[in-house]
């Protein structure tokens, strides 16, 4: 296999293409995770991927290694159980913002508190995409969705604030900033403790078009224009991507 394609060894290629909508950013995140695995040369028989329910939750089935597709919101406690049972395993959670921050938000809080040595990669598309476009924990204030036709009255979850009082790892990146996304994931996988990567990604079909975007590329270009990089800052502003890293 060509060196540039080594990441494909972590995928079940016979299951491709994925069932995600054209223009969905989930495939970008999935590929980048595999590239991070490849950069670290993670052993396939020593790595486990766990997901919850939702569009992003389908990711677990595409990894050519042990994986678990759990009930809605339960990916993190299942991952913690696996890690406690076999500390030698690399345990990675891949799921969406609705699954991890909404239905599973209580489990996230306690995993942070315990600083469990697992990595969580959150596909944060600001919407419940699989079920049609309902407001999610990361939907911006004022945004119209199926369940907030007059605009979201709530403030979105400030995920990074959950990590401020605990010695964990947090990073925010986007599907446009590919090299930065891989860097965030690689450092998260190397971190000894709880690590969380919030990957902002596009849902054009059940979110972007309702916001006025013509296509997924316009959403990508928004990430390019809106976000600036600020790695290793004490705190990220709303328009910043970067890494906030506790002591490993």
Are the CB atoms for 245 and 187 separated by under 8 Å?
Answer: yes
Instruction: Place 248 in a pLDDT band, splitting at 50, 70 and 90.
Output: low
DSSP annotation string for the chain: --GGGGGGGGB-GGGPSPSSPTT-SHHHHHHHHHHHHHHHT--GGGEEEEE-SSTGGGGGGGBSSEEEE-STT-HHHHHHHHHHH-TTSEEEEEEEHIIIIIITHHHHHHHHHHT-S-EEEEEE-SSBTTTTSB--TTPPTT---SS-TT---SPPP-GGGGGTTTT-EEEEEESS-HHHHHHHHHHHHH-SS-EEEEEE---IIIIIHHHT-SSHHHHHHHHHHH-EE-TT-SS--TTEEEEEE---
- Looking at the chain, the whole-number percentage of residues with pLDDT higher than 90 is 91
Tell me what pLDDT residue 1 has.
57
Tell me what pLDDT residue 162 has.
87
Report the distance separating Cα 34 and Cα 226, nearest Å: 27
Instruction: Place 247 in a pLDDT band, splitting at 50, 70 and 90.
Output: low
- Looking at the chain, the whole-number percentage of residues with pLDDT higher than 70 is 98
Instruction: Place 2 in a pLDDT band, splitting at 50, 70 and 90.
Output: low
* Domain span at 103: 3-245
Instruction: Give per-residue pLDDT as tens, 39-86.
Output: 999 999 999 999 999 999 999 999 999 999 999 999 999 999 999 999
Average pLDDT of the segment spanning 19-42: 97
Tell me what pLDDT residue 207 has.
95
CATH number of 209's domain: 3.40.50.970
Are the CB atoms for 237 and 248 separated by under 8 Å?
Answer: no
Instruction: Give per-residue pLDDT as tens, 173-227.
Output: 999 999 999 999 999 999 999 999 999 999 999 999 999 999 999 999 999 999 9
Instruction: Give per-residue pLDDT as tens, 95-149.
Output: 999 999 999 999 999 999 999 999 999 999 999 998 898 999 999 999 999 999 9
- Our count of domains for the chain comes to 1
């Amino acid at each position: 296999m060509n060196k540039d394609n080594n990441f494909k060894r972590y995928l079940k290629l016979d299951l491709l293409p994925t069932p995600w909508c054209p223009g969905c950013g989930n495939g970008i995140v999935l590929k980048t995770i595999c590239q991070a695995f490849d950069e670290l040369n993670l052993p396939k028989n020593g790595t486990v991927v766990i997901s919850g329910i939702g569009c992003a939750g389908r990711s677990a089935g595409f990894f050519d290694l042990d994986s678990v597709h759990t009930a809605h919101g339960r990916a993190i406690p299942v991952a913690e159980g696996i890690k406690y049972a076999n500390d030698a395993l690399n345990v990675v959670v891949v799921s969406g913002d609705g699954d991890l921050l909404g239905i599973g938000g209580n489990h996230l809080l306690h995993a942070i508190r315990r600083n469990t040595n697992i990595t969580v990669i959150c596909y944060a598309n600001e919407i419940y995409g699989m079920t049609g476009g309902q407001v999610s924990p990361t939907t911006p204030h004022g945004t119209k969705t199926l369940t907030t036709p007059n605009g979201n009255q709530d403030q979105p979850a400030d995920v990074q604030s959950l990590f401020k009082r605990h010695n964990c790892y947090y990073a925010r990146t986007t599907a446009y900033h590919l090299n930065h996304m891989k860097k965030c994931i690689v450092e998260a996988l190397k971190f000894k403790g709880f690590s969380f990567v919030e990957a902002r990604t596009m849902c054009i079909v059940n979110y972007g078009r309702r916001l006025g975007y013509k296509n997924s590329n316009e959403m990508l270009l928004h990430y390019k224009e809106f976000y600036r990089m600020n790695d290793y800052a004490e705190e990220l502003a709303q328009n910043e991507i970067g890494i906030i890293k506790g002591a490993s």
